[in-house]
Amino acid sequence: LSEINAVRATRDYREVGTFTPEVRAEVAYNPDSELLPVTRANGVALAQSVPQGGLISGTSALMSLDGWTWENMTEKSPVGLHIRWPQMKAIERIWMRQSAEDQLKDRDEQLENLRKFFADARAYHQLKSSGQPFESSTRLEAMAPFITGEAPVFIHADDIRQIQAAMDWAKTEQLQMILVGGYDAWRIADELKVQDIPVIYHNVHSLPDRRWEGYDTPFTGPAKLHAAGVRFCIAPAEGVSDPGHSRNLPYEAATAAAYGLPKDEALKSVTLYPAQIFGIAERVGSLEVGKDATLIVTTGDPLEITTQVEHMFIAGRHVDLSSRHTQLYEKYLQKYRQLGEIE
Confidence grade of residue 198 (pLDDT, cut at 50, 70, 90):
very high
Confidence grade of residue 239 (pLDDT, cut at 50, 70, 90):
low
CA distance 193 to 233: 14
Is residue 182 a contact partner of residue 200, using CB atoms and an 8 Å limit? Answer: yes
pLDDT digit string, tens, across residues 31-83: 999 999 999 999 999 999 999 989 999 999 999 999 999 999 999 999 999 99
Kindly provide the residue ranges of all beta strands, DSSP E only, lying in 51-202, ordered along the sequence.
56-64, 74-84, 153-157, 177-181, 199-201
Task: Identify the three-state secondary structure at position 311.
Answer: strand
Domains by residue range for the chain, with CATH? 8-119+145-289 (3.20.20.140)
CA distance 16 to 55: 11
Amino acid identity of 312? Answer: M
DSSP state of 83: E
Strand order across the 56-64 sheet: 46-49, 56-64, 74-84, 153-157, 177-181, 199-201, 232-234
CA torsion angle 90 96 100 106 (round to 10): -80
Task: Identify the three-state secondary structure at position 131.
Answer: coil
Task: Give which of 319, 239, 265 is closest to 53, Cα–Cα.
Answer: 239
Is residue 205 a contact partner of residue 252, using CB atoms and an 8 Å limit? Answer: yes
Amino acid identity of 214? Answer: G
pLDDT digit string, tens, across residues 285-335: 999 999 999 999 999 999 999 999 999 999 999 999 999 999 999 999 999
Helix axes 100-130, 160-173, angle to 10 degrees: 20
Q: What percent of the chain has pLDDT over 70?
A: 98
Task: Identify the three-state secondary structure at position 310.
Answer: strand
